[in-house]
């Protein structure tokens, strides 16, 4: 027997050891006596049938949790096989649809070069009809159609969303497959009337970005005319908290990744009647395009810097009564954008492999308007399909490889962005993994207590 290469061990103040295995998302607490037995098992190379009878139970439990494995097991090879199996068995087609590239905000770090006011650059009915035909051709034997409305600011094109949603839901009903829809929005137009219409479109989740308390948010995410947006968003959140599931994203850099900003924002959010299941993600501001490069190189945080700050900030989110977005208990991480099951579609009908690249014509891999623009014939499309999370040998010995998978985002490699390669090669989680595991365990324990109390 040997220790799993994907174990993370954390010594607690009371001398016990918290075990975590990133391959299986399992955790265990061991006192010093059992920890010494564990070390004896892996150091002597015992086989299960050779372990003394009184140690059998512990050995079985350690194997069940993936904390020890047979000497003959090549865990990296097994991880690759699990990854390939997931790629081959993806049952979902996900589309990031931009109904308009217009936006009513002037965010200082916006990556999207196509946002030019709230004009008439909406998706035409011709493009909409071509999109519906694209879905019919692409859905194949998939069991789920997952639509994400993004922009620009998608709520500026509600008419497009409503017309397309009607057609998309009709397709899924005819085929007997599941329809899931969500929207990325700045939240400014997300009042009760808007939410009622979005619900009619099958949209069940709205991700809203709020970057800090009033002064911080208004400085970073004003309207086009410079007016603040914080108060309107807070009012909307309070008014719609019982109408639609809300997920919140806070984009962080060196100017707002601090405890004062987060605590103040949490105090405001607690007045919005949001349920404790509301997920809050503390996210990177990154230079995916030249449009935001100057801002990020001046104010951005590298993964290590952000990780150190998240170790302090995520507990503040949890202690405020919300659910931090900490991904330490997932299945093997698979980026759908490296498969034929995920595309971004611009308002012009152009196809992209990553929604963050929508609008950058140099990254277009085809068009839904013409068969000759099929993505399979495009070289950039093939680059995405052949990307592997195992291409970097230095990742092979990382104990959180199963939840990072080569940096978490293929764009870091494919974009050949020097800043990303130097500063954000690893995910921030690597640099606060111990704190994340402990917080994740606290969240799980609370969920179990709440469930038992029902």
DSSP per residue, 10-33: EE-TTS-EEEEETTTTEEEEE-HH
61 and 28 Cβ atoms separated by less than 8 Å: yes
Give the integer Cα–Cα distance in Å for 363 and 351.
Answer: 9
Burial of 282 (0-12, 13-18, 19+ CB in 10 A): buried
Distance from C-alpha of 42 to C-alpha of 47, rounded to nearest angstrom: 10
The predicted pLDDT at position 254 comes to 94
Q: Which residue has the higher pLDDT, 60 or 143?
A: 143
Alpha carbon distance 149, 122 (integer Å):
13
As for how many domains the chain has, the answer is: 2
pTM confidence score: 0.92
User: pLDDT per residue over 243-253, tens digit each?
Assistant: 999 999 999 99
Number of residues written out for the chain: 454
pLDDT, position 52: 64
Looking at residue 54, its pLDDT comes to 59
State the pLDDT confidence band at 174, using cuts at 50, 70 and 90.
very high
Last residue of a domain, one of 58, 73, 88: 73
pLDDT at 292: 72
Question: 57 and 93, same structural domain?
Answer: no
CATH number of the domain enclosing 202? 3.20.20.70
User: Does 60 lie in the same domain as 86?
Assistant: no
At 298 the pLDDT is: 85
User: Both 352 and 398 in a single domain?
Assistant: yes
- What is the predicted pLDDT for the residue at 417? 67
Average pLDDT of span 72-99:
94
CA 381/CA 412 separation, integer angstroms: 16
Cβ distance 386 to 413 under 8 Å? Answer: no
Q: Which stretch, 11-15, 156-160, 424-428, has highest mean pLDDT? A: 156-160
Domain boundary among 73, 93, 117: 73
Q: Are residues 261 and 313 in the same domain?
A: yes
> pLDDT-derived band of residue 340, with 50, 70 and 90 as boundaries?
confident
* Domain span including residue 346: 74-453
Is residue 65 located within the same domain as residue 86?
A: no
Any idea which of 145-154, 262-271, 363-372, 393-402 has the lowest mean pLDDT? 363-372
Asked if 264 and 378 sit in the same domain, the reply is: yes
CA distances from 6 to 37, 67, 390 (A): 19, 8, 15
Token pair listed for 208:
């809203």
Instruction: Give yes or no for a contact between 38 and 9, defined as CB atoms under 8 angstroms apart.
Output: no
Of the spans 85-89, 174-178, 367-371, 445-449, which averages the highest pLDDT?
174-178
- Domain shared by 53 and 122, yes or no: no
- What does the alpha-carbon distance between residue 321 and residue 338 come to, in Å, rounded to a whole number? 36
Interhelix angle 259-269/303-319, rounded to 10 degrees, is 40
pLDDT band at 47 (very low <50, low <70, confident <90, very high): low
Instruction: Give pLDDT tens digits for 293-328.
Output: 778 778 889 899 999 999 999 999 999 999 999 888
DSSP β-bridge partners for residue 7: 21
Looking at the DSSP assignment, which residues form a beta bridge with residue 203?
Answer: 181
Same domain, 417 and 407: yes
How far apart are alpha carbons 245 and 237 in whole angstroms?
10
Both 205 and 317 in one domain: the answer is yes
- Listed range (152-156, 163-167, 422-426) with the worst mean pLDDT: 422-426
* Digit-coded pLDDT (tens) for 382-421: 888 888 999 888 899 999 999 988 777 888 777 766 666 6
Same domain, 32 and 167: no
Residue 111 has pLDDT above 90, yes or no: no
Q: Where among 73, 94, 126 does a domain terminate?
A: 73
**Residue 198 shares a structural domain with residue 338:** yes
Are residues 55 and 86 located together in one domain of the fold? no
């Amino acid at each position: 027997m040997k220790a799993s290469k994907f174990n993370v061990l954390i010594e607690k103040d009371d001398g016990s050891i918290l075990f975590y295995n990133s391959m299986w998302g399992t955790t265990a607490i061991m006192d010093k006596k059992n920890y010494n037995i564990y070390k004896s098992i892996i150091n002597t190379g015992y086989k299960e049938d050779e372990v003394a009878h009184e140690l059998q139970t512990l050995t079985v439990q350690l194997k069940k949790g993936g904390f020890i494995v047979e000497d003959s097991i090549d865990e990296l090879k097994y991880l690759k096989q699990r990854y390939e199996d997931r790629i081959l068995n993806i049952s979902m087609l996900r589309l990031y649809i931009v109904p308009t590239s217009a936006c009513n905000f002037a965010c200082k770090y916006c990556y999207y070069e196509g946002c030019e006011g709230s004009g008439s650059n909406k998706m035409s009915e011709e493009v909409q009809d071509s999109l519906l035909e694209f879905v019919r051709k692409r859905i194949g034997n998939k069991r789920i159609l997952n639509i994400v409305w993004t922009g620009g600011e998608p709520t500026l094109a509600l008419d497009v969303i409503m017309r397309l949603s009607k057609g998309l839901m009709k397709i899924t009903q005819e085929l007997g497959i599941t329809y899931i829809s969500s929207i990325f929005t700045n939240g400014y137009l997300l009042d009760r009337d808007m939410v009622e219409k979005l619900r009619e479109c099958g949209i069940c989740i709205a991700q809203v970005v709020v970057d800090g308390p009033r002064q911080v948010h208004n400085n970073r995410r004003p309207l086009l005319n410079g007016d603040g947006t914080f108060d309107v968003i807070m009012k909307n959140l309070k008014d719609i908290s019982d109408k639609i599931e809300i997920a919140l994203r806070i984009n962080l850099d060196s100017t707002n990744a601090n405890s004062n900003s987060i605590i103040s924002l949490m105090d405001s959010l607690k007045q919005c009647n949001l349920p404790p299941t509301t997920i809050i993600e503390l996210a990177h501001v990154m230079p995916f395009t030249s449009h935001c490069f100057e801002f990020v190189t001046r104010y951005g945080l590298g993964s290590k810097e952000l990780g150190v700050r998240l170790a302090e900030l995520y507990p503040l989110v949890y202690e405020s009564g919300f659910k931090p977005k900490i991904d330490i208990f997932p299945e093997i991480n698979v980026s759908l954008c490296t498969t034929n099951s995920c595309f971004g579609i611009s308002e012009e009908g152009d196809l992209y492999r990553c929604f963050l690249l929508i609008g950058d014509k140099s990254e277009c891999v085809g068009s839904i308007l013409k068969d000759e623009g099929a993505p399979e014939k495009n070289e950039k499309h093939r680059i995405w399909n052949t990307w592997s999370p195992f291409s970097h040998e230095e990742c092979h010995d990382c104990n959180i490889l199963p939840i990072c998978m080569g940096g978490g985002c293929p764009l870091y490699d494919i974009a050949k962005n020097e800043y990303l390669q130097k500063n954000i090669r690893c995910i921030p989680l690597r640099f606060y993994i111990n704190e994340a595991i402990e917080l994740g365990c606290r969240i799980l324990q609370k969920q179990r207590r709440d469930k038992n109390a029902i």
